[in-house]
Amino acid sequence: FFFVSSTGHQDRVWQAAWHPTKTLLATCSGDKTVRLWQPASHDNFSEWHCVETLEGAHKRTIRSVAWSPTGNEIATASFDATTGIWENDPRENDWECVATLEGHENEIKSVSWSSTGALLATCSRDKSVWIWEVEQDNDFECLSVLQEHTQDVKMVTWHPKLEILASASYDDTIKIWKEDDDDWYCADTLQGHTSTVWSLDFNAEGDQIVSASDDQTLRIWKMYKANNPQGVMTPNGDAAWKSICTLSGFHERCIYSVSWSKVNDRIASVSGDNSIRIFEKDMEREDPDAPVYKNLTTTTDAHGVYDINGVAWFPTEKHADWLSTVGDDGLVRIWRLVE
Amino acid sequence: MAQNLINANPTVYNTKTLIRKETEAELDDDIEDPIDAQEVFDLIRSISDPEHPLTLEQLNVTQFEHIQVDNQSSKILIEFTPTIPHCSMATLIGLCIRVRLLRSLPDRFKVDIRVRKGTHQSEGAVNKQLNDKERVAAALENNHLLEVVNQCLATASLRGTEVAAN
């Protein structure tokens, strides 16, 4: 496990997001900017530079940053209650804020693009989840305002293939949202965590979710479709999600972020206990309805004495062993998992 | 004005003249003084109450006995006692304590702040909010709230000394 460290942000860094294909990382911070980072050259990954700073569009902390599936747009979610849409001008390789989405009553905590790029989801301390349709010419239409969480919604993330959305909340639950004839509704509520759910991520297939909580555990949830052979009840014909594994006793403080590699199936989590942990399914004890995960490796004090807020695996085969982390120290770190 | 106060007539406690007796080791600059409960108490005891011209120590909101410091593992637990069980100022008081410690302690400390068990009717909700760093960060970007917090903290640097002078 080795790392490169990059400085530039002037405040705590909240989240990191990899470009869908390029070796380009976006990070967002309390300093109201998004920064884009790239290695010094195609064969020198030991030095990363800030190649672009997206600034001026938000008056407060940028809490979340997300790439569109093409990598040509970036969405930013801010405590100023707006979502910014940034577009890349390929001629100048310049980024410009081309739209600002308003509507949430207060801080926006997370933003996510659907797999096709046709939909955008945002969530807020106002307890709601909004679904936006991406139209021509940087026009966004709000399709639905979902208000079933009873508290602050911390994160939204789309299914890797389908138009299914998952949200995580301060109310300790995860909700699954689906569309039925233009109507979005809550298809399932996942209960089990005993405190705030901060983060979640689907596996590559989209039939499992990992969630990270202030209760210091990670949970793996599995989707059971109607008439499943295991006999899991599926009310209303919607698939039901069940907790099939709890990883406890590893992190000692709140787990702020989790990333499930779509390439090698490994799970990385980061915490207020200053550590990064990597988990891997134990293949010798394979039971699809009760998997066992082992802690492959742990890096303590990965950002010194500081909380780690975000973690993200590189999304493609090219650098599947790369991991980025961001922390309260304002640093962005790139790690490589060495076997 | 008085009828608008949450707790119009609080009990005022005689503050103990709990002042650190400096030992020879502490006066010696070559010996490191680990941060202990007394140091943390000194940092927060003279924070002003949001609605009374009194310190948290005078209102018995903070007590030396309810501070745990584990210097070795950089962990601090502070329990405070709202003046009344339905005090709507509890979150603000806790926020003042958090901000004071954020500004004064080394970054390595992980601080947990809680209402003392059984002293507030919404202790679960207050505790959860005070320990959610994202909500604390958002609160501190609110200029009005920050002003109120700063007002409460204006007296914090007295570290109990005005009591000693009496």
Tell me the DSSP string of A198-253. Answer: EEEEE-SSSSEEEEEETTS-EEEEEEE-TT-TT----GGG--EEEEEEEE-SS-SS
- In tens, the pLDDT along B78-122 reads 999 999 998 889 999 999 999 999 999 999 999 999 999 999 999
Bridge partners (DSSP) listed for residue A178: A185
A170 CB near a chain B CB, below 8 Å? Answer: yes
Q: What is the pTM of this model?
A: 0.94
* Percent of residues, chain A, with pLDDT higher than 90: 90
CATH number at residue B80: 3.30.300.130
Q: Which one is predicted more confidently, B163 or A115?
A: A115
Structural domain range at position A81: 3-336
Closest residue on chain A to B138 (Cα): A79
d(CA B76, CA B70): 6
A79 CB near a chain B CB, below 8 Å? Answer: yes
CB B96 within 8 A of CB B59: no
CB A18 within 8 A of CB A324: yes
* CA B113 to each of CA A111, B40, B44: distance values in angstroms, whole numbers, following the listed order: 30, 12, 12
As a whole number, mean pLDDT of residues B149-166 equals: 82
Low-confidence residues of chain A: pLDDT under 70: 1
The whole-angstrom distance between A307's CA and the closest CA on chain B is 9
Residue B67 falls inside a structural domain: yes
- Look up the ipTM and state it: 0.94
d(CA B81, CA B72): 27
Count of A-B CB contacts under 8 Å = 34
pLDDT of residue B165: 47
pLDDT at B19 over 80: no
Q: Do B128 and A30 touch (CB under 8 A)?
A: no
pLDDT band at B1 (very low <50, low <70, confident <90, very high): very low
Instruction: Please give the tally of structural domains in chain A.
Output: 1
pLDDT band at B161 (very low <50, low <70, confident <90, very high): confident
Residue B165 falls inside a structural domain: no
Burial class of residue A148 (count of CB atoms within 10 Å of its CB; 0-12, 13-18, 19+) = middle
Among A63, A107, A305, beta carbon nearest to B74: A305
A172 CB near a chain B CB, below 8 Å? Answer: no
Edge-to-edge strand ranges of the sheet holding A13-18: A13-18, A25-29, A34-39, A48-54
- Which of residues 101 through 130 in chain A touch B, CB cutoff 8 A? 106-107, 109, 125
Q: Do B132 and A170 touch (CB under 8 A)?
A: yes
CB A334 within 8 A of CB A302: no
Structural domain range at position B72: 35-153
Give the mutation candidate from B134, B135, B140 for the A interface (greatest A CB count, under 10 A).
Answer: B134
pLDDT at B15 over 90: no
Instruction: Please give the tally of structural domains in chain B.
Output: 1
pLDDT of residue B7: 78
What is the 3-state composition of chain B as percent helix, strand, coil, each rounded to the nearest 5?
A: 40, 10, 50
Q: CB atoms < 10 A from the CB of A217, how many?
A: 20
H or E stretch at B121: none
Token pair in block for residue A110: 């997370």
pLDDT at B163 over 60: no
pLDDT at B3 over 80: no
CATH number at residue A310: 2.130.10.10
- In tens, the pLDDT along B23-61 reads 777 777 777 788 999 999 999 999 999 999 999 999 999
- In tens, the pLDDT along A173-219 reads 999 999 998 899 999 999 999 999 999 999 999 999 999 999 999 99
- Angle, helix B90-104 to helix B37-44, in steps of 10 degrees: 120
The whole-angstrom distance between B6's CA and the closest CA on chain A is 25
Among B107, B132, B141, beta carbon nearest to A305: B107
Count of residues in chain A: 339
Using the CB atoms, write b or e for A35-51: b if 16+ within 10 Å. bbbbbeeeeebeebebe
pLDDT at B151 over 50: yes
pLDDT of residue A4: 85
pLDDT of residue B160: 87
d(CA A338, CA A297): 10
Give the mutation candidate from A197, A254, A326 for the B interface (greatest B CB count, under 10 A).
Answer: A254
pLDDT of residue B2: 44
d(CA B83, CA B60): 8
Residue B18 falls inside a structural domain: no
pLDDT at B166 over 60: no
